[in-house]
């Protein structure tokens, strides 16, 4: 058996047991009020968690069949009859997590919480490799799910037992760190296209996600890095036929034989070669500022050079590189000498970063997607992944693709998101973001607005009067324009001399005329210096006449 000789490198490098990090969302009880509290929940590794969003729903715990291992009776018994969705609470045990969630979805639930059956730290609910039924239900799970700890589950159940309506909020807004305006993400993948459902899944994802990935990368919104797991051969077996056929660089970098049969078809080292080539394609393309070409290369290679078609070869790879105008020589040089008894610089780095660090656990299964150093949970599906990436941008720095309508709702459209807005100029403090909206006084034509963003914003600094007169009163009388926006003041509105009011409304022009007539010229000059541009003109005119 091929895999017997291969050890995932993380076991060697981290002498302690391998690290597994549980990715979380939060669940808070909204009602009944006396139970208000916030709890962690572990995001299920299937279905579609609402990264960046939240869901408020009514908890339902089934009278019978609370483990959810068989379909629930009736036609969508848990379909919500009110505006609030149903969040189904099920018990852990007796069958796959994924099956419970599937049965919940079929019964009309909008989300499923699974209560742990023992007291322990939260674990990630994973899916089996393949669905136990022929339909392949795992792929069809489209709702979010999470595991909660036993005591929280008990708390919900006892409230329900008392006949209370329990409303909870599941919140994924903080599930992806969002420190800045660029999202770093990585995909751990494999060029082997004959490894069954996992390989099909990752290839379908790459093909479907390519468009989004390239838009994000070209816009500088993301930095994507592909990674490839490699194994190594234990010292004692380096000269064995198994290691010779599965490894390059004298047992240093290996991959399992695609057919698990040494006599037939492709060998493990063919896979290592191609993984290395794909790494080098990315590296070389990245150096010339075209990192996104990796997505083209990988999808084209899969279509043109598949193992199924018996075209998984260097020659075929070169054909793909040629059509993508990639510098073949540079890429070959990056790949180095696979026969040499030395480290390969590129693959060595791959083995090192495979080991978990910080918020990310060890990478041991394929495919693995890591966003801002946190492992993505849920279905590897285009829009679900885009949502998770979008949740990784700092508020207000979201790229346009994240704000498209099918992905999120523009919260500024309704009541201007509760933010300040100048009805005259349509200048608004509402900024739609992927996670919601922020009320932030805007920068318009170089003029910074200042204020709390909710009830007031004011233009500040020179030039502010150029934009809709700084939001201040102005009026033209007898061909002369009067303004309450004073260039000499950095902010605010003030009625010009002779007028009375709060600056947004001013009255009493005749008084100004009178004033001008009686005031000596030097006082008029003083007026000129303290009043707005238009006032200067009008005052000067008066002076001339
Ligand atoms: C790609 O290029 C950027 C900027 O030049 C660099 O920071 C990054 O490390 C490169 N990535 C890889 C995988 O070489
Ligand atoms: C402000 O927006 C409203 C609604 O979109 C529009 O009818 C109005 O003309 C706009 N006003 C200005 C000054 O742009």
Residue 379 Cβ < 6 Å to ligand 1? no
pLDDT tens-place values along the chain, 545 residues long: 333 344 433 333 333 345 667 788 889 999 898 898 999 999 988 899 988 888 999 999 998 999 999 999 988 899 888 888 999 999 999 999 999 999 999 999 999 999 999 999 998 888 877 666 666 888 889 999 999 999 999 999 999 999 989 999 999 988 888 999 999 999 998 888 777 777 888 888 998 898 889 889 989 999 999 999 888 888 888 888 888 888 999 999 998 888 777 677 888 899 999 999 999 999 999 999 999 999 989 988 998 898 888 899 999 999 899 888 899 999 999 999 999 999 999 999 998 888 877 777 777 677 889 999 988 988 888 888 999 999 999 988 888 888 886 666 677 887 787 788 888 788 899 988 776 778 899 988 888 888 888 878 888 887 888 888 888 888 887 788 888 988 777 888 888 887 888 888 888 754 444 333 333 333 333 233 223 333 332 232 222 21
Rounded distance, CA 91 to CA 396, Å?
40
Position 224 scores a pLDDT of 97
Rounded to the nearest angstrom, the distance between the alpha carbon of 426 and the centre of ligand 2 is 6
The CA–CA distances, whole Å, from 219 to 79, 297, 386 equal 42, 20, 15
HSE at residue 430, side-chain half, CA atoms within 13 A, is: 17
Nearest protein CA to atom 10 of ligand 1, as residue = 286
Ligand nearest to the CA of 421: 2
Rounded to the nearest angstrom, the distance between the alpha carbon of 353 and the centre of ligand 1 is 15
Domain 24-171 has CATH 3.50.30.30: yes
The CA–CA distances, whole Å, from 473 to 8, 15, 250, 266 equal 73, 73, 81, 80
Nearest protein CA to atom 5 of ligand 2, as residue = 426
> Closest ligand 1 atom, CA of 282?
13
Rounded to the nearest angstrom, the distance between the alpha carbon of 409 and the centre of ligand 2 is 21
Ligand nearest to the CA of 427: 2
CA angle 405, 406, 410 (to 5 degrees): 30
At the top level of CATH, the class of 2-15+177-391 is: alpha beta
Give yes or no for a contact between 139 and 171, defined as CB atoms under 8 angstroms apart.
Answer: no
Rounded to the nearest angstrom, the distance between the alpha carbon of 283 and the centre of ligand 1 is 7
Ligand nearest to the CA of 184: 1
The backbone region for 388, taken as left when phi is positive above 0, alpha when psi lies in -120 to 50, beta otherwise, is alpha
Rounded to the nearest angstrom, the distance between the alpha carbon of 188 and the centre of ligand 1 is 17
Rounded to the nearest angstrom, the distance between the alpha carbon of 413 and the centre of ligand 2 is 13
Nearest protein CA to atom 4 of ligand 2, as residue = 426
Rounded distance, CA 426 to CA 416, Å?
11
> Closest ligand 2 atom, CA of 424?
13
Residue 286 Cβ < 6 Å to ligand 1? yes
Protein residues whose CB sits closer than 6 Å to any atom of ligand 2: 425-426
Question: Smallest Cα–Cα separation from 229: which of 259, 255, 201, 200?
Answer: 255
Instruction: Could you list the beta-strand ranges (E) of 430-515.
Output: 430-433, 436-439, 443-444, 447-451, 457-460, 474-477, 480-483, 500-501, 506-507
> Closest ligand 2 atom, CA of 425?
13
Position 355 scores a pLDDT of 80
Domain ranges for the chain, please list them: 2-15+177-391, 24-171, 412-465, 474-538
Position 137 scores a pLDDT of 87
Question: Smallest Cα–Cα separation from 535: which of 492, 491, 475, 490?
Answer: 475
Both structure tokens of 445: 């034509």
In 3-state terms, what secondary structure has residue 180? Answer: coil
> Closest ligand 2 atom, CA of 426?
1
Give yes or no for a contact between 259 and 268, defined as CB atoms under 8 angstroms apart.
Answer: no
Rounded to the nearest angstrom, the distance between the alpha carbon of 291 and the centre of ligand 1 is 8
Other CB atoms within 10 Å distance of the CB of residue 391: 26
Residue 45 Cβ < 6 Å to ligand 1? no
Ligand nearest to the CA of 281: 1
Ligand nearest to the CA of 416: 2
Nearest protein CA to atom 1 of ligand 1, as residue = 286
> What is the phi/psi pair of residue 305, to 5°?
-125, 40
Pocket test for ligand 1, best of 223, 281, 283 (most atoms within 8 A of CB): 223
Pocket test for ligand 2, best of 422, 426, 430, 445 (most atoms within 8 A of CB): 426
> Closest ligand 1 atom, CA of 225?
13
Position 395 scores a pLDDT of 85
**Helical residues (DSSP H) of 254-313, grouped into ranges:** 268-287, 293-304
Residue 227 Cβ < 6 Å to ligand 1? no
> What is the phi/psi pair of residue 448, to 5°?
-85, 130
Rounded to the nearest angstrom, the distance between the alpha carbon of 319 and the centre of ligand 1 is 25
Rounded distance, CA 206 to CA 528, Å?
67
Nearest protein CA to atom 7 of ligand 1, as residue = 223
> Closest ligand 2 atom, CA of 423?
1
């Amino acid at each position: 058996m091929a895999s017997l000789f291969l050890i995932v490198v993380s076991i060697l490098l981290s002498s302690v047991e391998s690290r597994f990090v549980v990715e979380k969302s939060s669940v808070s009880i909204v009602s009944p009020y006396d139970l208000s509290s916030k709890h962690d929940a572990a995001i299920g590794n299937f279905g579609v968690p609402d990264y960046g969003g939240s869901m408020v729903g009514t908890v339902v715990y089934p009278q019978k069949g609370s483990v959810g291992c068989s379909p629930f009776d009736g036609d969508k018994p848990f379909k919500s009859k009110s505006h609030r969705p149903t969040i189904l609470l099920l018990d852990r045990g007796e069958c796959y997590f994924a099956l419970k969630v599937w049965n919940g979805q079929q019964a009309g639930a909008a989300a499923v919480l699974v209560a742990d059956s023992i007291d322990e730290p939260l674990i990630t609910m994973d899916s089996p490799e393949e669905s136990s039924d022929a339909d392949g239900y795992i792929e069809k799970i489209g709702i979010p799910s999470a595991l909660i700890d036993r005591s929280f589950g008990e708390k919900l159940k006892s409230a329900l037992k008392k006949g209370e309506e329990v409303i909870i909020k599941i919140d994924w807004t903080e599930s992806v760190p969002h420190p800045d305006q660029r999202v770093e993400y990585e995909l751990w993948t494999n060029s082997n296209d004959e490894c069954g459902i996992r390989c099909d899944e990752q290839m379908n994802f790459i093909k479907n996600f390519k468009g989004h990935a390239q838009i994000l990368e070209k816009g500088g919104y993301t930095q994507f890095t592909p990674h490839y797991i490699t194994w190594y051969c234990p010292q004692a077996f380096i000269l064995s036929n198994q290691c010779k056929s599965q490894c390059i660089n004298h047992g240093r970098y290996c991959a399992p034989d695609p057919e698990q049969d040494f006599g037939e078809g492709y060998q493990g080292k063919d896979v290592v070669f191609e993984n290395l080539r794909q790494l080098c394609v990315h590296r070389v393309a990245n150096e010339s500022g075209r990192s996104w070409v990796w997505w083209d290369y990988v999808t084209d290679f899969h279509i043109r050079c598949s193992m199924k078609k018996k075209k998984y070869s260097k020659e075929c790879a070169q054909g793909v590189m040629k059509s993508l105008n990639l510098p073949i020589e540079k890429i070959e040089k990056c790949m180095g000498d696979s026969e040499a008894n030395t480290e390969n610089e590129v693959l060595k780095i791959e083995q090192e970063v495979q080991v978990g660090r910080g918020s990310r656990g060890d990478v041991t299964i394929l495919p693995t997607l890591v966003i801002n150093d946190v492992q993505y949970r849920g279905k590897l599906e285009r829009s679900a992944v885009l949502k998770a990436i979008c949740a990784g941008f700092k508020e207000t720095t979201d790229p346009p693709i994240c704000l498209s309508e099918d992905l999120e709702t523009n919260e500024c459209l309704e009541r201007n998101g509760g933010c300040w807005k100048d009805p005259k100029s349509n200048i608004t403090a509402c900024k739609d973001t992927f996670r919601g909206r922020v009320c932030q006084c805007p920068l318009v034509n170089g003029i910074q607005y200042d204020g709390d963003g909710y009830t007031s914003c004011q233009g500040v600094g020179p030039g502010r009067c150029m934009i809709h007169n700084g939001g201040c009163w102005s009026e033209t009388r007898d061909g002369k324009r009067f303004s309450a926006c004073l260039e000499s003041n950095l902010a605010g509105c003030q009625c010009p001399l002779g007028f009375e009011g709060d600056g947004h409304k001013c009255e009493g022009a005749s008084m100004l005329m009178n004033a001008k007539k009686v005031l000596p010229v030097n006082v008029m000059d003083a007026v000129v210096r303290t009043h707005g541009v238009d006032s200067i003109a009008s005052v000067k005119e008066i002076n001339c006449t």
